[in-house]
Amino acid sequence: MNTGFYWILKALLSHYWRHPWQTLFLTIGLVAGVGLWSAVQIINQHAEASYQQAQSLLGAQASHWIRSRRDEGIDQATYIELRRAGFRQVIPVIELEVSTAAGVSISIIATDLLALPETVFDGEQSTQDFSRTWLEFVQPPYRAWVPAVLAAELDLEEGTQLELRDGRKLPTALIQAREQQGRRVLVDIGAAMSLSGSNRFNYLGVGEITPAEYARLAASLPGSLELIENQQHLDLQDLTASLHSHLTAMSLLSFAVGLFIVFNAVRFSLWYRRATLLDLRLMGCDLRHLLAAILLETLVWSLIGTALGFVLGVALAQVLLPGLGASLQSLYDATVDAELGLSPWTLMQAWSITLIGLLWALTWPLYRQLQRSSFEAGSTDVMLADETTARRRLAFAALLLACLAWIAYAQIETVTQGFVVLGMILFAAAWILPFLLAQVLSLVGSLLPQRYLLGRWMISDGWSQLPALRSAMMALLLALTANLGVGSLVDSFRDAFVGWLEVRQSADIYLRATNLDYQQLEMNEINASWLADSNHRIGVSTRWGGRPALIRGTNPVAPDSTVFPLSRWQGDSPASALKAWREQPGKVLVNEQVHFLAGVEIGESIALPTDKGLRDFEVVGVFYDYGNPYFQFYLPDHVVASNWSHHYSRGIALWLNPQNKNAMQQAEASLKALGAQPGDWISQAQIRRLSIGIFDRTFAITAAMNLLTMIVAAIALLASLLAILHERMPQFAQWRALGLRQSEQLLLVATPLLVFCAIVWLLSIPLGALLSWILIHKLNIISFGWSMPLVWEIGPALQLAVVVFLICAVTLLSISFQWRRQMPQALAQLGETV
Amino acid sequence: MLIISVSIFAMLSIKNLCKSYHYAEVRQDVLHQLEFEMSAASSVALLGESGSGKSTLLHLIAGLDRPDSGEINFAGYRIHSERESILAELRRSQMSLVFQQFHLIPTLSILDNIRFQAALCQRFDNHYETELIDRLGLAGQLDKYPHQLSRGQQQRVAIARSLLHKPQLVLADEPTGNLDENSSLEVMGLFSDLVKQAGSSLLMVTHSQAMAEFMDRRVWLHNGKLAETG
């Protein structure tokens, strides 16, 4: 680096040293933006890596599954026979859901480590620790490998035993997260069998298998078992892709808000340095050197922003991952490793996006600065004229973008396209904002009578503040809109989900035990005192339209079958559609996923794969099915029983006698007497608690990101106002010299700010509603295949108004404090002579 | 038309220079077929009424603006048509500018400000730096920042910066315009002495006759042309 370049760089960078607040705000903007973006990227990539890793560990062997056609499990003898027949790639798996003594529901997965191929433990077998751990796992009294996150949630310490609701205990816990067990407890197959009191496995996993072996294995299986291809990995990627897309879009939105702050900070840093840039040019600095120095500065900022932002991103990901992991497992049965793995690729992506963002923020102001002749570039008048031009250009670009979004809206077919259009709408709104604020100022100015001096002064101060507040107001608008829009989406979902649970899960008890005779339960007169109604549901798992699908058989006259929450129906009313479904053969109800994702309409015939080949059913109703990633078809139970011989029981729903106050206790006693284990049934309250828990965990990440976005926007506002304060200090000193009190000065500065914030808040309400509407009625349908009614309440908007007011109050307080500190010096410099 | 005295050793020569501006679609000729020459190691005061085009002429000579027509030749360079990079190089190493508003870099210390242009053109003389600092009375201010100095002191820093690299030509635009009368005379005396000592030429825009007296020659800009005065 030659001396000249070093001095140019020194002159430019000294700005940051001398203005630590600006340096801090630029850093915060960058770090917050990068942090939010990279947190979601880390989570997404980690989840994807976990899906693949999980496959390679337990799933490498499971290219296929052997399952009971009637969901009755597989007995031990069949497994032993298969192994003896030379099928070394077959491994047993048991999956259990149990409740702890504290009422927490946990999943247990069990396999036979001895049956796993050696490759699973490559590089580990030789270590002494591994051998001991392994032996303890497979030999009585066994060990339960509990992931650290779950152990922390359960307050479980290593070496202790977890007590279940029925008093039994799990094997001694080893806090062990090496296995891809996600939040599940891993135990040996022997331990699981004694725990379940059954000698049956849920299914057998089959490792890599040649076509010849496949044929031999299929031929060796008894008729009650089927050999099916394991498509779980593919399904997982398909099913979770939309959720991850949503998260990415949220992170990009946060990044955009961060980018506005960076844009703001970069603009201010150039604004402040316009005198320095002018001096440098007067002293003969080469334009290329100046550009190179600014680009180098940008590079340094991008590295600082990326490094610190990535650290924040990792910390955020660590906080958000357990909740999201739990949701992914609950909703999709997708296992996400609790231990965070970081990839250099994510870091590179974060750096690239930061550098591009910074260059974008820098390019236009720098171009304008350098395009001007030396003296013009330093003139405040020219800069203000630039502002007017910039406002008009932005407004024009906003209109153009809005038109493009309008045209593109009808063409949206994918989630990505949807988010691009959403981005266009949001940016159009942000870009037109400065023009709107200027128009409001002009309008108020023209309406205000000449004699209202203070009012006119406030308007004129508004014009002075507008250029500096431009980007901060845009960032605030984006943050408020995102908060209201996404908040409304979540509220709508919660309301719809809770309402749906009320209708669909109206039974008091849900029982699922393979060893019970449900008919006996329903018929036994002893149970009549507490049992008001029941619905024994049966089902068949299949694939339809390229996705996993469930064909469900339900008692058509049961309480929950008569009040199906239909979003579309055939005939005059939902009741008439349900009547036709109950009474006429060949009618089917499908979930919204079938309607939206497979394009099936009311009145259309769909072919379902029955035992006797494909059979057509006419769709008479489409029901809401929130959060379900699968296709579902509801048929009367007798139709399922007659068309699918391998149907299996999906449990029974029991409605208690409302007249009997002790119905629940009697029901539990009766079920125990019939041989059901306490873990076999679950009450409606538990289901609701579990479901809402999953829901809240899933959307905790959204709430966290909303909060952080608001913080970032608040910082932008604070940074801008402090910048104004610094720039206009001599002017404020003049006001003081004219006899204005500090409170009057504060009122002059605060009024335009509060008016701007109020306008931004008002604008964010319809924009937030629009965002929410598009998310629900377009993107949700494309992503997940279900819709819901939009819930829009004024409460969250009012809460945000309070937040915005508080941000303004804090900002004005800090201004007041700064005035106290800096005013004496500014006053001393007034009219200074030598 | 009065022709300004011509020397065959002219360091700066201007021929037939025209410059006009457009204000609200009305053309205003600021400089019209202006002729001027200046020899090395000389000083010239450029006088004229407000708005007569004095600063415009200075900016054209410094290559900060382009003429409509005519020639400006300086030290073998054709300022009117050179590329921006050449003009930047010239401003950096052969010229310096001093303004009424000082144009110091606010975020650099006084010492760094003084050294800045000399460092840019890598022409640095430690002894001369010490001498300049002493003669301008800045020795106790070197670690401070511009805003901590009075205007008179800031102008002394600007003068030190403009001379440290010993340029051929110093262009000054009302350098004492921000100072009171006594300080102006003191600073101007120092400035003209130091310029002579450095062997530089000085072209100074002023509207003060008293300041103009410090210069070897005085020229008057009127109606876009220059005329020699007493």
Q: What is the pLDDT of residues A202-216, one digit of tens each?
A: 888 887 777 788 888
Q: What is the pLDDT of residues A661-709, one digit of tens each?
A: 888 888 888 877 777 766 677 777 777 777 777 677 667 777 777 777 7
Computed over its alpha carbons, how large is the radius of gyration of chain A?
A: 33
DSSP 8-state symbol, A584:
S
What's the rounded Cα separation, in Å, for the pair B46 and B57?
Answer: 10
Q: Which of A185-189, A736-740, B102-106 has the lowest mean pLDDT?
A: A736-740
Distance CA B57, CA B34 (A): 10
Question: How far from A576 is each of A212, A315, A582, A583, A590, CA to CA, in Å?
Answer: 53, 54, 10, 10, 16
Chain A, chain B: beta-carbon pairs less than 8 Å apart: 96
Q: What is the pLDDT of residue B230?
A: 61
Residues of chain B with pLDDT under 70: 1-9, 24, 230
Helix segments in A517-662, DSSP class H: 518-523, 574-583, 592-598, 637-643
- Place A35 in a pLDDT band, splitting at 50, 70 and 90: confident
Contacts of A584 (CB under 8 A, 6+ apart): none
Grade residue A254 by pLDDT with cuts at 50, 70 and 90: low
Q: Tens digits of per-residue pLDDT, A377-390?
A: 555 556 666 778 88
Residue with the larger pLDDT of the pair A522 and A89:
A89
Radius of gyration of chain B (CA): 17
Q: What residue in B sits closest to A14 (Cα-Cα)? A: B107
Of the ranges A365-374, A459-468, A783-792, the best mean pLDDT one: A459-468
Mean pLDDT score, A299-306: 90
Beta strand A648-656 with A509-511 is antiparallel
Q: By mean pLDDT, which of A40-54, A528-542, B107-121 is the weakest?
A: A40-54
Across chain A, mean pLDDT equals 79
**What confidence tens digit (pLDDT) does each residue in A500-511 have?**
777 777 788 887
**What number is the average pLDDT over the span A57-71?**
63
Cβ–Cβ below 8 Å for A19 and B151 = no
- Joined together, the tokens standing for residue B7 give 């020397």
Question: Model confidence over A147-161: pLDDT tens digits?
Answer: 777 788 788 888 888
Q: Does residue A234 have a pLDDT over 70?
A: no
Among A7, A13, A290, A373, which would you mutate to test the B interface (most chain B Cβ atoms within 10 Å of its Cβ)? A7
Q: What is the pLDDT, as a whole number, of residue A407?
A: 93
> Among B107, B120, B150, whose Cβ lies nearest the Cβ of A284?
B120
Record the tokens describing residue A686, joined without a space. Answer: 């538990």
pTM of the predicted model, to two decimals? 0.67
CB contact under 8 A, B108 and A3: no
Our CA-based measurement puts residue A824 at a distance from the nearest CA of chain B, in whole angstroms, of 14
Q: How far is B149 from chain A (nearest CA, A)?
A: 10
CA A46 to chain centre: 14
Nearest CA in chain B to A377: B64
pLDDT at A620 over 80: yes
DSSP three-state, residue A368: helix
Residue scoring higher pLDDT (A50 or A686): A686
| Residue B88: partners with Cβ closer than 8 Å, 6 or more residues away | A281, A284, A285, A286, A287
> Secondary structure of chain B: what % helix, strand, coil (to 5)?
35, 30, 35
Between positions 80 and 99 of B, the ones with CB within 8 A of A are: 84-85, 87-93, 95-97, 99
- Substitution target in B60, B100, B108 with the highest count of A β-carbons within 10 Å is B108
Does the distance separating the beta carbons of A276 and B152 come in below 8 Å? no
Confidence of residue A339 (pLDDT cuts 50, 70, 90): low
CB B31 within 8 A of CB B54: no
| Whether residue A519 has pLDDT greater than 50 | yes
pLDDT at A332: 57
| pLDDT band with cut points at 50, 70 and 90 for residue A406 | very high
CB contact under 8 A, A11 and B145: no
Closest by CA to A701, choosing from A255, A225, A324, A254, is: A324
What pLDDT, on a 0 to 100 scale, did the predictor assign at position A397? 94
Dump pLDDT digits (tens) for A258-285: 677 677 767 777 777 877 888 888 888 8
Q: Testing the interface with A: which of B92, B105, B187 to mutate, by most A Cβ within 10 A?
A: B105
Is A647 a residue whose pLDDT tops 60?
Answer: yes
Contact criterion met (CB below 8 Å) for B113 and B145: no
Using beta carbons and an 8 Å cutoff, which residues of A are at the interface with B?
2-4, 6-8, 10-11, 14-15, 17-19, 275-276, 278-288, 373-375, 832-834
* Confidence bin at A240 (pLDDT 50/70/90): low
The pLDDT of residue B73 is 94
Answer whether B151 sits within 8 Å of A8, measured CB to CB.
Answer: no
Q: Is the confidence at residue A338, as pLDDT, over 60?
A: no
Encode pLDDT of A430-451 as tens digits. 999 999 999 999 998 888 887 7
How many angstroms from the chain centroid is the CA of residue B174? 9
For the segment A535-546, the average pLDDT, to the nearest whole number, is 82
- Residue with more model confidence, A424 or A630: A424
- Which residue of B58, B91, B107 to mutate against A (max A Cβ within 10 Å)? B107
Interface contact flag, B59 A278, Cβ < 8 Å: no
Of B62, B107, B150, which is closest to A834 when you measure between CB atoms?
Answer: B150
Is residue A784 over pLDDT 70?
Answer: yes
H helical segments located in A536-585: 574-583
pLDDT at A777: 84
Residue A758 pLDDT = 93
Out of A218-222, A371-375, A432-436, B36-40, least confident range:
A371-375
pLDDT at residue number A447: 86
**Three-state SS sequence of A671-710:** HHHCCCCHHHEEEHHHHHHHHHHHHHHHHHHHHHHHHHHH
**Can you give the three-state secondary structure of A14-58, one letter per residue?**
HHHHHCHHHHHHHHHHHHHHHHHHHHHHHHHHHHHHHHHHHHHHH
Do A641 and A647 meet the contact criterion of CB atoms below 8 Å apart? yes
Better-scored residue on pLDDT, A280 or A649 = A280
Cβ contact B108–A283 (<8 Å): no
Which is more confident, B175 or A724?
A: B175
pLDDT of residue B124: 82
- pLDDT tens digits for range A162-176: 888 777 788 888 887
pLDDT recorded at residue A270: 77
B64–chain A nearest CA distance, Å: 7
Yes or no, beta carbons of B97 and A281 under 8 Å apart: no
Instruction: Assign A328 a pLDDT band (cuts: 50, 70, 90).
Output: low
* Cross-strand partners of A608: A615
Mutate to test the interface with A, among B104, B116, B184 (most CBs of A within 10 A): B116
CB < 8 Å to A3, chain B: 119-120, 122
| Per-residue confidence (pLDDT) for residue A834, from 0 to 100 | 35
Torsion of CA B58, B59, B62, B67, to 10 degrees: -110
Q: Please state the ipTM of this predicted complex.
A: 0.77
Predicted confidence at residue A635, as pLDDT, reads 92
Distances, alpha carbon A563 to alpha carbons A503, A505, A623, in Å: 7, 11, 10
Check A833 against B62: CB less than 8 A apart.
no
> Which range, of A112-121, A414-423, A576-585, B152-161, averages the lowest pLDDT?
A112-121
